[in-house]
Amino acid sequence: MRLDDYELDGKSYDEMFTAGAHVRPEYRALAQRLAEMTPPEVEQRQRQADLLLRNQGVTFTVYSDNAGIEKVFPFDPIPRLITGDEWEQVERGLVQRVQALNLFLRDVYGEQRILNDGVVDAGLVYGASGFRREMIGMLPPQSVYTHIVGTDLIRAEDGRFLVLEDNVRSPSGASYVLECREVLKRVFRVLFEEYGVRPLDDYADWLRDTLLHVAPRASDDPTIVLLSPGMYNSAYFEHSFLARRMGATLVEGRDLVVKDGAVCMRTTNGLKRVDVIYRRIDDDYLDPVVFRPDSILGCAGLFAAYRSGAVALANAPGTGVADDKAIYPFVPDMIRYYLGEEPILDNVRTYIATREDDRKYILENIGSLCVKQTDASGGYGMLIGTQSTAEQREEFRKRIEARPRSYIAQPVINLGRHPTIIDGKLEGRCVDLRPYVLVGDKVRVIPGGLTRVALRRGSLVVNSSQGGGYKDTWVLTGTGDEADSRPVENGV
């Protein structure tokens, strides 16, 4: 496989190559292995990986025209490497950020000091689609609101990691991280021996500990369930995977019933009480009595049981206020306000359309900005100014003027790129990184996370619903230098 004809675009940060087209030290062993492989060998490995994933049922569902199509998640076998030193910094930054977000949630639904002190605009908080007034005055067990967080990081042009968004409601993707590590261990076994890669095996135990941490009863053996919308949900594979790995029961709304103030599940032996619900359905669907009355995914009476402390929910309802795209620009201020520290990880510069100056700037410079709808995700409701038509820009200008609360804008960033196999050749493709953070008796960060790849040439959108794929992410135990290549024995 040729590395010498690999194209750098001269603007964005490349994970494997320096601006001078030299292989970065930590990538040397990997680059050498790749150089020694013939294209058919690479292709054979990719096929093997696809087959393993398909047979394990690692699929997701794409919805269009009301028909769900089950697809195998496109997987690129070349791992992304992060040195131990760099990771240590990222890890500290994530822990700091998640702590501030939990304090913010506690404050917003409690004393509201940060609003009264004018640090965060109260209008933005109450206007957030994720704000739930039902949560006011409710202190969840152990004061934790968001237990499981997936933070999206990108590389700026200068190589710094920036936070693109926080996902504090019910982020998905952790199962893909674990599954694709299993696949890569089989496909690129020797590389693991050359590199010291931090293992991911503890994730399911951590998740279980995180949930046990909030169990309400002094019970020897609390019952944990994972509440899923069911098999037609795009992330159902993940729900079933995590439940099995944690030894939790995978339930749907119809399995639950509230009796005598407690949430119970229907079993062949009658009703059984539930202690902790790891819910993978949105707030709106949790309880038809309190939220959307037409929901059949949740359980009537669940929220009352939660407020009374009879059952714990992870994550808490109403956490969406903290990952609203218009609240995001305030996270660095939150860190200073609650923790008295400077943020370790920076935000991307963000313009808020409700602010007059910002709005003016957005409308005038829309062609060079990325406009995002504050309550949308998955790459939907977005305008990338540099890749848009005049009509689209006009359309967004109108929308922003009509509903400024719904929009923010950021400079278009040349996302960091990573060599990716495209039609048997290596080409640079944009990547991001979503590490998962668990808040239990302590805060833990999965070593690595989900590296998503925009497989379409020149695309900046990595979401799986928009043609994105993914890679395994290796956090190295050292700097990677020591993994200098040894002679090849039996292939890679």
56 binds other proteins (CB under 8 A): yes
Map residues 206-235 to x or -, x wherever contact with other proteins holds by CB under 8 A. -------------------------x----
Return d(Cα 101, Cα 316) in angstroms, integer: 13
Task: Answer left, alpha or beta for residue 371, where phi above 0 means left and psi between -120 and 50 means alpha.
Answer: beta
Per CB under 8 A, the list member of 4, 5, 40, 55 interacting with other proteins is 55
* Residue 261 in contact with other proteins, rule: CB under 8 A: no
Nearer to other proteins, 259 or 398 (CB): 259
- Contact between 48 and other proteins by CB under 8 A: the answer reads no
249 touches other proteins by CB under 8 A? yes
Mapping DSSP to helix (H, G, I), strand (E, B) and coil, where does residue 395 land?
Answer: helix
Q: What is the DSSP string of 42-105?
A: HHHHHHHHHHHHHHTT-EEEEEETTEEEEEEPPEEEEEEEE-HHHHHHHHHHHHHHHHHHHHHH
Which C-beta is closer to other proteins: that of 237 or that of 337? 237
Which tokens go with 214?
Answer: 């909030």
Considering only residues 265 to 294 of the shown chain, the ones binding other proteins according to CB under 8 A are 265-271
Q: Which is nearer to other proteins, 249 or 466 (CB)?
A: 249
Q: What is the CA radius of gyration of the chain?
A: 23
From 47, 92, 254, 457, residue interacting with other proteins (rule: CB under 8 A): 254
Residues 108/146, Cβ–Cβ less than 8 Å: no
Q: Which two tokens stand for residue 224?
A: 């944990």
Q: Tokens standing for 359?
A: 């709005």
392 binds other proteins (CB under 8 A): no
Stretch that binds other proteins, among 243-251, 283-291, 322-330, 478-486 (CB under 8 A): 243-251
Question: Under the criterion CB under 8 A, does residue 121 sit at the interface with other proteins?
Answer: no
Q: Which amino acid is at 71?
A: K
Contact 165, 328 (CB under 8 A): yes
Residue of 252, 282, 287, 324 that binds other proteins (CB under 8 A) = 252
Distance CA 387, CA 371 (A): 12
- For residue 215, the minimal CB distance to other proteins (Å) is 20
Position among 2, 11, 22, 54 found at the interface with other proteins (CB under 8 A): 54
C-beta of 35 vs 51, nearer to other proteins: 51
Using the rule CB under 8 A, is 442 a contact of other proteins? no
Of 16, 224, 226, 251, the one binding other proteins by CB under 8 A? 251
> Binding of other proteins at residue 71 (CB under 8 A)?
no
Question: Sheet containing 249-251: which strands, arranged edge to edge?
Answer: 249-251, 224-227, 276-279, 312-314
Question: Which residues of this protein are in contact with other proteins, per CB under 8 A?
Answer: 54-57, 231, 240, 244, 249-252, 254-255, 257, 265-271
